[in-house]
Amino acid sequence: MSILIQPLITEKLTRLQEMHQQYAFEVARNSTKPQIKKAIEERYPEVKVARVNTMVVPSKPKGRFTKSGFVSGRSRVWKKAIITLKEGEIDLFSEI
């Protein structure tokens, strides 16, 4: 199983990229910080990771009204990693 699932791109995370050289990825829930750092540096060989912060995003109740009534459920639990690049590194997503 791959450690990096997908990069996350939102307005808030774009601001982090521009101001602090930080990038966010959805990662496997059982991955550790050293594994995430190694996976980033293997996938993008031209960058060096300075720091990795992780957080587990909890499940939230979700619901919607349909013709047959209210349908309730929950969102999934997933893990987010914020990667900080070393000073002077290039833009990580410029080649994508």
Q: Which amino acid is at 73?
A: G
92 band by pLDDT with thresholds 50, 70 and 90: low
Question: pTM of the predicted model, to two decimals?
Answer: 0.84
Please determine, for residue 93, whether its predicted confidence score (pLDDT) is greater than 70: no
Flag the least confident range among 1-10, 24-33, 50-59.
Answer: 1-10
Please determine, for residue 45, whether its predicted confidence score (pLDDT) is greater than 90: no
**Interval 66-89: pLDDT, tens:** 999 999 999 999 999 999 998 766
Query: Could you give the CA distance from residue 52 to residue 10 in angstroms, rounded to a whole number?
Result: 19
Longest dimension (CA), the chain: 56
Whether residue 83 contacts residue 23, with contact meaning beta carbons closer than 8 Å, is answered with yes
Measured at the CA of 81, the angle between CA 75 and CA 95, to 5 degrees, comes to 110
Please determine, for residue 6, whether its predicted confidence score (pLDDT) is greater than 80: yes
Query: Could you give the CA distance from residue 48 to residue 60 in angstroms, rounded to a whole number?
Result: 34
What tokens does 54 get?
């992780």
